[in-house]
Structure 1
């Protein structure tokens, strides 16, 4: 089907004109997607798990190409979204499929983690949201999904983005990802838009029990701080200074730096403001969800990123699994040196795979309701 099958009344409510009857699931149209701001492929991998074909991912960071293409049967396009047109993307959708334009524009302008010292360029990164909207207008896909930080919903740029969705039925909400099976506390704004109608769009209809740290990473072999496991280069933990080793040895799962002897406390803990950071230098708990996995999650002093039992920070593989990447997801080529800062950034910025799968399941269910 194409956009010409739709009539947009003056009140902007969409009506489907004479939809065909699909007698079997095989006859029902499939969904084909392009993933903007694809990163290492978290959203793409989830969409594929949920039954959606992904033809291409777009990202300006060349470091994303290997993990994206090594784990997904899709083409990586290294390009700024602002330099793309709808015609550039059209060949990457399978003929006859419903088109889905998906993506998560960089959220640094809204980040509370890196708010100090950011450049003017970073302040303008939200313009990529409008680039996303422009491509929606040019491409006219039947389906759109966007994932971002909750703060975006309160920013004028979100309202500007919605103007690009005239003629779509739109649902958006802030989703606590732990309620859909992501083993961490992670609140994200999720938007779904469709030209097919409103039935089946709310992501809130899809629920899943909470998954714990133990269920997610406990089967991995133990390693020590500074060690890389011989069988998995990503299962590597950063080194600890002698002082931080003493600190983690004094830390209880779910505890705080207040459990330490006074001489172990950092200077920031001795200030009045230190009371606001009880999770810094903390251990995770086995039978709870993890904290939000950030770009600095490999560092013990950057949050509650201490392993629940072993005296080290979580490994990069554990971070990726807490982001619901499969245990065998490839992030580095064979023999390539593991760089904590680069891989931490790629993993922390990723869309959790599980969230991508739930989005896909919601959209495929929506299509089923729309076509019968």
Structure 2
């Protein structure tokens, strides 16, 4: 296990070193963002084997393939060893709390993973905690219990809804962010404190090489786009940046959208706009018909690489080993489910500012 977290670093904190563990770490978006901010992440934990390569290759942290249900405090002890301050971070799977999920309820096992997070907080007693999820979680009793448990353990708790685009993410992504600290009052940096301007799709992906639907960039296997059926090719030709299927000739409109029940879903089969942030990147972003995921200019859906960049992963972030087959479905899930790196950086810098202020007061 790395001991980087035991060294005092000249980052946002003047005195205290922070060692972090990232639960539900996925491909490493939160870890990468915390590292960019200056926080040492020593361990990432996830149940998905597809996360092993991207997490371990791109981040200076160990990876533990294990269900959080089965994780014990002893699994985290070496990652927290000799740290001045411990940070337990994570984003429990959010699909069950999403507005798009009309069927999930407390019978879904993922519903209770937040309570496993709470259990590990009690067992490891970190000074700092952060959690990111969809806004719908706030309305659930499981979240209220999570907050109550933190407050009973004498944490100062702050949570709020943020639009990541306001912090420089080239994507409209609304998220719930919770910060908790035993040191004192803590809050997320506001947009002026973070000092990042809004970023457009063009600024993010405008310089990536041009490719056609169904092709792969020879220099970057992740820069590949799904093929289009004949009808969808005609549809994307008729699509305007920022528009909807309502702009098409009637002969191209899908039968489901001609029905009364389908007329309320205008955000599918659309192109992004160059001069605006992207819509929320979902796990299905690589499919033209799954949202407004058409390229603003080229006649195709955005590529896997473009989706990753819009999630603020570095352009060289590696998701698959050289020569390994690329599954759009698998990588779409990893990229779409990730905590945006930019949001992880905001969280990290907020924590460092909090710790610096605490250090100065003692």
User: What's the TM-score once normalised by structure 1's chain length?
Assistant: 0.90
* Residues 283-328 of structure 1 deviation map (CA, whole Å, 9 limit, x = unaligned): 0000001000000000000000000000000000000000000000
Offset of 1:214 from its aligned partner? 0.4
Q: 1:301 aligns with which of 258, 264, 289?
A: 289
Match of 1:270 in 2: 258
Q: 2:182 aligns with which of 186, 192, 195?
A: 195
Offset of 1:259 from its aligned partner? 1.3
Match of 2:94 in 1: 107
CA contact (8 A) 1:256 1:281 kept: yes
1:237-248 superposed matches below 5 A: 237-248=225-236
Partner secondary structure for residue 262 of structure 2: helix
Flag the 1:129–1:207 CA change in 2: closer, same or farther, 3 A. Answer: farther
CA RMSD of aligned residues (A): 1.6
- Partner Cα distance (1:112, 1:338) in 2: 29
Match of 1:10 in 2: none
- Partner Cα distance (1:103, 1:324) in 2: 18
Match of 1:311 in 2: 299
Determine if the alignment matches structure 1 residue 259 to structure 2 residue 247: yes
Offset of 1:201 from its aligned partner? 2.2
- Partner Cα distance (2:14, 2:229) in 1: 61
CA contact (8 A) 1:105 1:148 kept: yes
Offset of 1:210 from its aligned partner? 1.1
1:160-309 superposed matches below 5 A: 160-165=145-150, 166=152, 167-198=154-185, 200-204=186-190, 206=194, 208-309=196-297
1:314-325 superposed matches below 5 A: 314-325=302-313
Flag the 1:178–1:268 CA change in 2: closer, same or farther, 3 A. Answer: same
Partner secondary structure for residue 345 of structure 2: helix
CA contact (8 A) 2:94 2:134 kept: yes
CA contact (8 A) 1:130 1:161 kept: yes
- Partner Cα distance (2:97, 2:209) in 1: 37
User: What's the TM-score once normalised by structure 2's chain length?
Assistant: 0.92
Match of 1:352 in 2: 340
CA contact (8 A) 1:55 1:94 kept: no
- Partner Cα distance (1:130, 1:143) in 2: 17
Match of 1:150 in 2: 135
- Partner Cα distance (1:151, 1:172) in 2: 13
Flag the 1:352–1:369 CA change in 2: closer, same or farther, 3 A. Answer: same
- Partner Cα distance (1:229, 1:195) in 2: 49
- Partner Cα distance (1:203, 1:75) in 2: 28
Question: Runs of 5+ in structure 1 lacking a partner?
Answer: 1-23
CA contact (8 A) 1:134 1:164 kept: no
CA contact (8 A) 2:13 2:355 kept: no
